[in-house]
Amino acid sequence: MKKTLFEKIWDAHVISEVNDGPTQLYIDRMYCHEVTSPQAFDGIRKRGLTVFRPKQVTCIPDHNIPTINQEKPIEDPISRHQVQALDSNAKEYNLQYFPMGHNKNGIIHVVGPENGLSLPGMTMVCGDSHTSTHGALGAVAFGIGTSEVEMVLATQCIFQSKPKTMRISVNGNLKDGVSAKDIALYIIAKMTTGGATGYFVEYAGSAVQALSMEGRLTLCNLSIEMGARGGMVAPDETTFEYIKGREFAPKGEEWDKALAYWKSLPTDEGAQFDKDIAFDAADIEPMITYGTNPGMGLGITESIPSLDSIDEAGRISFVKSLDYMGFKPGDKMIGKPIDYVFLGSCTNGRIEDFRAFASLVKGKKKADNVVVWLVPGSWAVEKQIKEEGIDTILTEAGFVLRQPGCSACLAMNDDKVPAGKYAVSTSNRNFEGRQGPGARTILAGPLVAAAAAITGKITDPRTL
Amino acid sequence: MEKFKTISSTVVPLPIENVDTDQIIPARFLKATSKLGFGDNLFRDWRYDKNDQPNPDFVLNNPTYSGEILVAGKNFGSGSSREHAAWAIAGYGFKIVISSFFADIFKNNAMNNGVLPVVVSEAFLAEIFSSVENNPKTIITVDLQNQTVTNTATNKSEKFDINSYKKECFLQGFDDIDYLLAKKQIIEQYEDKQSDVAYFLTT
Ligand code: SF4
């Protein structure tokens, strides 16, 4: 039978099936962060169990950690307590652990791929919806809840109902100034935030194949924002080249064996998807969001929809959303003043994102009225920024580099956008209050963020 | 988990679409290391104003509405995988959420915490909202055994879906881990087999 990439990996991990019930799926690797794991560790303790396969569990604190003075203890006592809970759980159960300040610390979804811990053909989970990121390597990776984290700790298995499959192809060449983030925001705007619920998405087509691994990670990262269980890209030469030589990737003979297996994974020609959708790369502009969910996106030169173009059932939410943002139907986005810029997160906190940001701000000056947080996704990214001299470009333009972590993406640490202020953010969620109570988030890619940081307003980066 | 019985209750209506998990429980309340107390902060930023005073316009602060059933607009629970959202809903005292559409992870999380997500048609949902608007004391009945939900104001019923495994879990009050633990042996057999095919996956 002809199979899709998803089906090949899924089928290879099915242990049993409950009659008219879920599938028992084997999990190759689980990542744990400090926010969604403490209750799971407590759970196994209460049941008198231990971690079943400690070698397959990696713990990395990222959500709460401050982005300055990481060498000192965390000031907020509750954040500190949560990070300490992960610390003691990782040590008690002898798990792989990259604590705060460790040279492999950073956001899980940045650290996993860059260390060769996330590999093609794997099943991977984490108590975090953006686990979909790791699917970029050609893997089945998805976010789970804390009860499910407990299941994996106890049995290295999880109960899941099999999702349907969807292929989203983006064909043709991207226009200048259009990044993977723009492709993702474009797709989500077309699909809506619930449009892929129940599906596992494979991204395909020439524009996706042409993306670097970093771009693919960004694209898969945002899959959850249209409701998908996960996203993936078939492993190819780009993938293999990215993985080769990374610390935990297979080496020597193991590499050859792995490679042969990985090459068997791409979707067979003629395999059927439950849904097959295609977009034209040439239609995609640099994107920006105007509302309070990631599906409310536009090409940067477009205007916010008018009220009568919204169907009746959705109007209450639409109006509520625009009220929150302080925007009006029909408004143009270009030229709107902004207060904050955030470059970072598991969506756009990789080296390529910093290169893109730096390429635009080089030789220019930061706008005086904007606060800018530049937060690398990991210490490895931070190191590369310095090695490539990007930090000098940033400093000369008036920017300061912070220390790695999730930071303003969800504002669990001190990086909070004040109520009513506008932030152009390269993260993934513009929900009400996501970046701090009352904060107004405008999602965009690194180039649009850079243009806003230089001009203090929403600006088309192609005009600079 | 408690065994689930038929529930007849007044409802709390929340006719808003795309209610995401950041609204259900904002990130700043995720720092606890136990499952308790999240109900107090359910819908925190809608429920309280900047000075931590209850916002009288929000439905949870309106004494007219109460009950064990939350009825919400389409695409409820989108966003993050935080199970805290389910703990907040369960902690507040809801046993059922009715909507025309749920986000996947939320749905799993709810079920793993004894909260039953009930999917109804858009028309049925709209009718519940209007019945409750006309009479806040409208009773909705959810009968899990027969998989029906009934709007007693209109006397209309609808069937809802749930797989028979999950249904049994709810009716009997047992959970997935109990079930998986009984399968250790076949897990180990699987690992042995996998180590030949793709050993690098599990080392
Ligand atoms: S960067 Fe943001 S989205 Fe990514 S894991 Fe951290 S909090 Fe979640």
Best B14, B35, B46, B81 residue to mutate vs chain A (most A CBs within 10 Å): B81
Find the range with the poorest average confidence among A195-204, A413-422, B164-173: B164-173
Residue A90 has pLDDT above 90, yes or no: yes
Question: H-type helices in A376-463, by residue range?
Answer: 379-387, 390-396, 446-455
Which pLDDT score is estimated for B65? 96
Percent of chain B with pLDDT over 90: 70
Percent of chain A with pLDDT over 90: 94
Identify the band that residue B198 occupies on the pLDDT scale cut at 50, 70 and 90: low
Q: Which two tokens stand for residue B94?
A: 């809801």
ipTM: 0.88
Ligand 1 pocket: which of A346, A347, A434 to mutate (most atoms <8 Å of CB)? A346
Query: Whose CA is closest to atom 6 on ligand 1?
Result: A406
Identify the band that residue A320 occupies on the pLDDT scale cut at 50, 70 and 90: very high
CB–CB contact A147 B112 (8 Å): yes
**Dist CA A413 CA B165 (whole Å):** 40
Which pLDDT score is estimated for B117? 97
Residues of B in contact with A39 (CB under 8 A): 33-35, 83
Which atom of ligand 1 lies nearest, measured to the CA of A344?
Answer: 1
Reported as type and span, the H/E element at residue A171 is: strand A164-171
Which pLDDT score is estimated for B197? 61
Mean pLDDT over all residues of chain A? 96
Residues of B in contact with A347 (CB under 8 A): none
Find the range with the poorest average confidence among A231-245, A354-368, B48-62: B48-62
Residue B203 has pLDDT above 60, yes or no: no
Domains of chain A: 6-161 (3.30.499.10), 164-236+267-283 (3.40.1060.10), 287-463 (3.30.499.10)
Residue ranges lining ligand 1, Cβ < 6 Å: A 62-63, 107, 109, 128, 130, 345-346, 406, 409-410, 427-428
Residue partners of A48: CB distance under 8 A and separation at least 6: none
- The predicted-structure confidence for A147-168, as pLDDT tens digits, reads as follows 999 999 999 999 999 999 999 9
Identify the band that residue B175 occupies on the pLDDT scale cut at 50, 70 and 90: confident
**Dist CA B121 CA A273 (whole Å):** 26
Q: Which of A53, A131, A227 sits opposite B104 (nearest CB)?
A: A227
Strand B116-119 vs strand B96-99: parallel, antiparallel, or unpaired? parallel
Identify the band that residue B174 occupies on the pLDDT scale cut at 50, 70 and 90: confident
What is the DSSP track for A285-337? PPEEE-SSSTT-EEETTSBPPPGGGS-HHHHHHHHHHHHHHT--TT-B-TT-B
**Dist CA A321 CA A296 (whole Å):** 10
CA of A279 to the centre of ligand 1 (A): 27
CB–CB contact A42 B33 (8 Å): yes
Which pLDDT score is estimated for A78? 87
Identify the band that residue B104 occupies on the pLDDT scale cut at 50, 70 and 90: confident
Residue A233 has pLDDT above 90, yes or no: yes
Mean pLDDT over all residues of chain B? 92
Residues of A in contact with B37 (CB under 8 A): none
Mean per-residue pLDDT, A316-345: 97
Residues of B in contact with A229 (CB under 8 A): 104
Strand A340-343 vs strand A422-425: parallel, antiparallel, or unpaired? parallel
Identify the band that residue B199 occupies on the pLDDT scale cut at 50, 70 and 90: low
Mean per-residue pLDDT, A323-350: 98
Ligand 1 pocket: which of A34, A108, A111, A130 to mutate (most atoms <8 Å of CB)? A130
The residue to which tokens 């190191």 are assigned: A383
Single out the residue of A267, A446, A52 nearest to residue B191, CA to CA: A52
CA of B82 to the centre of ligand 1 (A): 12
- The predicted-structure confidence for A305-314, as pLDDT tens digits, reads as follows 999 999 888 8
Mean per-residue pLDDT, A268-293: 98
Residue B178 has pLDDT above 70, yes or no: yes
Q: Which CATH architecture has domain B7-172?
A: Alpha-Beta Barrel (3.20)
**Cα B115 from chain centre:** 5
**Residues in B 163-202 with any Cβ partner in A closer than 8 A:** 163-166, 175-177, 179-181, 183-184, 186-187, 190-191, 194, 197-202
Strand B140-143 vs strand B7-9: parallel, antiparallel, or unpaired? antiparallel
Mean per-residue pLDDT, B153-178: 91
Residues of A in contact with B38 (CB under 8 A): none
Which pLDDT score is estimated for A53? 95
**Dist CA A250 CA A310 (whole Å):** 52
Reported as type and span, the H/E element at residue A57 is: strand A57-59
Identify the band that residue B195 occupies on the pLDDT scale cut at 50, 70 and 90: confident
**Dihedral sign computed on CA atoms, order A192, A323, A221, A353:** positive
CA end-to-end span of chain B, whole Å?
35
CB–CB contact A21 B75 (8 Å): no
**Dist CA A440 CA A420 (whole Å):** 6
CA of A439 to the centre of ligand 1 (A): 17
Identify the band that residue B202 occupies on the pLDDT scale cut at 50, 70 and 90: low
Q: Give the predicted TM-score (pTM) of the model.
A: 0.91
Question: One-letter amino acid identity for A185?
Answer: L
CA of B125 to the centre of ligand 1 (A): 33
Collapsing DSSP to helix, strand or coil, B4 comes out as coil
Q: Which of B74, B83, B163 sits opposite A147 (nearest CB)?
A: B83
**Dist CA A322 CA A317 (whole Å):** 9
Question: One-letter amino acid identity for B126?
Answer: A
What is the DSSP track for A231-280? EEE---HHHHHHHTT-TTS--HHHHHHHHHHHHT-SPPTT---SEEEEEE
Find the range with the poorest average confidence among A211-215, A374-378, B75-79: B75-79
Q: Which residue of chain A has the CA closest to B105?
A: A144
| B47 Cα to chain A: minimum distance (Å) | 13
**Which bin fits A72, alpha (ψ -120 to 50), beta or left (φ > 0)?**
beta
| Alpha-carbon distance values, A186 to A72, A176, A283, A292, A440 (Å) | 41, 15, 9, 16, 20
What is the DSSP track for A337-377? B-SEEEE-HHHH-SHHHHHHHHHHHTT----TT-EEEE--S
CB–CB contact B50 A146 (8 Å): no
- The predicted-structure confidence for A25-51, as pLDDT tens digits, reads as follows 999 999 999 999 999 999 999 999 999
| B57 Cα to chain A: minimum distance (Å) | 14
Query: Whose CA is closest to atom 2 on ligand 1?
Result: A409
Ligand 1 pocket: which of A65, A128, A378 to mutate (most atoms <8 Å of CB)? A128
**Dist CA A354 CA A287 (whole Å):** 18
Which pLDDT score is estimated for A27? 97
Strand B116-119 vs strand B140-143: parallel, antiparallel, or unpaired? unpaired
Residue B34 has pLDDT above 90, yes or no: no
**Dist CA B152 CA A56 (whole Å):** 51
CB–CB contact B27 A194 (8 Å): no
